[in-house]
């Protein structure tokens, strides 16, 4: 009879640990934000990009950063390249509002 109670107790502890571990793992995964981008075309400004964090719009970039005037990206690939660069900076916690330098634009072949 006593052995039977120990089996129930050990089973209960195992279930408890299984549930707690699952909850902790879920919380750990949910703290990592999902960062995505979407390029778009605007007749007036050419190409731009939006960056989303957990499906919520965080940045709307319709002009080339640091460009004189209001000049958009010439191609979708240029907009996507800079969007990926910004996301990489966000993922590596370089800044909440990451900036793109002129040198980075030049290295990507983007003229201002």
- Over residues 80-95, the pLDDT tens digits come to 999 999 999 988 876 6
Q: pTM for the complete prediction?
A: 0.69
Of all residues in the chain, what percent carry a pLDDT higher than 90?
36
Q: Provide the 3-class DSSP secondary structure of residue 52.
A: strand
Beta strands in the chain (DSSP E): 35-42, 46-53, 56-61
Q: Provide the 3-class DSSP secondary structure of residue 1.
A: coil
Ranges of residues in the chain with a pLDDT under 70 are 1, 24, 26-30, 94-96
The pairing of strands 46-53 and 56-61 is: antiparallel
């Amino acid at each position: 009879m006593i052995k039977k109670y120990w089996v129930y107790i050990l089973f209960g502890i195992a279930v408890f640990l299984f549930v707690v571990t699952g909850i902790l793992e879920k919380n750990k995964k949910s703290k990592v934000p999902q960062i995505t981008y979407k390029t778009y075309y605007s007749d007036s400004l050419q190409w731009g990009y939006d960056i989303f964090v957990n499906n919520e719009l965080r940045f709307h970039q319709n002009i080339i950063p640091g460009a004189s005037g209001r000049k958009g990206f010439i191609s979708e690939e240029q907009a996507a390249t800079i969007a990926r660069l910004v996301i990489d900076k966000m993922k590596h916690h370089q800044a909440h509002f990451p900036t793109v330098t002129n040198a980075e634009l030049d290295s990507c072949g983007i003229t201002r």
